[in-house]
Structures are given as structure tokens and as C-alpha cells.
């Protein structure tokens, strides 16, 4: 187990689900940056990616989208009864990498490493 995985395991994440009111086409993920920035802007409404970004040590959360339609600015403000259905934030561009070869699976969540290591029932396998 790596030090980063240990840190992820020790971090308590809120309940994260996909918004059942959205169709798959609406459950998007975007990663954007410009040449003069050192951080990428991230938005995702996908469960696996939301969990992985929230667990990433270098991800800075700007907003958490909650199932009831409200938003929260930080994990500390999310109540245990809340369900997160999306996240907006930033991550250092140095964390991003396009590989020369394709991953063995086309799932979206493995784009961000070391997440879902906190493991909850029904979580996506790595």
C-alpha cells in the first residue's frame, strides 16, 4: 500500500451517488485549462470520478453539488445526511497525463488514480 493510498483510506468521504434525475448524457465530466494556468478546472457529475477527485490530495474543491439541489463550498460543510452528486474544483496540471497506450478498460473513473480505495459497497472496481 502506498503512502498516498493510506492517506486516502484515512480520509472520510461523504456519500457520493449519481443524480438519478439526470440521463447519462447529462452526467458529464470536463477538464479545462489554458496555457497560462498551472491548475486545471474540473467538473464532474459521475460518481466514480467525484469520489476519486475528492480523495485526491491535490484536488481543491470549489463546490459540491448535493442531491437536494443545493451546493456546499467544502467537505467540512457537508452533513452526513447529504448526498454529493457532483463536484467542481481544480487540480495541478502536473497531475494530468495522456498515456501512449490505452488502459485495459474504458471506464471513466480510472482516469484519476488511487480513488475508491476508501471502498464502499457498490463502488467501481479499479
pLDDT at 114: 61
Exposure string of 20-57, with b = 16+ CB inside 10 Å and e = fewer, is eeeeeeebebeeebeeeeebbebbbbbbbbbbbbbbbe
pLDDT confidence bin for 124, thresholds 50/70/90? very low
Over residues 105-115, mean pLDDT:
74
Q: What confidence tens digit (pLDDT) does each residue in 18-68 have? A: 999 999 999 999 999 999 999 999 999 999 999 999 999 999 999 999 999
Amino acid at each position: 500500500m502506498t503512502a498516498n493510498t493510506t492517506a486516502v483510506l484515512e480520509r472520510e468521504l461523504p456519500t457520493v451517488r449519481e443524480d438519478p434525475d439526470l440521463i447519462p448524457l447529462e452526467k458529464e465530466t470536463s477538464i479545462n485549462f489554458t496555457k497560462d494556468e498551472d491548475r486545471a478546472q474540473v467538473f464532474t457529475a459521475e460518481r466514480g470520478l467525484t469520489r476519486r477527485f475528492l480523495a485526491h490530495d491535490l484536488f481543491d474543491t470549489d463546490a459540491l453539488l448535493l442531491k437536494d439541489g443545493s451546493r456546499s463550498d467544502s467537505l467540512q460543510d457537508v452533513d452526513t445526511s447529504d448526498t454529493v452528486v457532483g463536484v467542481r474544483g481544480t487540480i495541478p496540471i502536473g497531475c494530468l497525463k495522456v498515456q501512449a497506450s490505452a488502459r485495459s478498460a474504458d471506464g471513466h473513473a480510472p482516469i484519476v488514480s488511487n480513488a475508491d480505495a476508501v471502498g464502499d459497497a457498490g463502488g467501481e472496481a479499479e
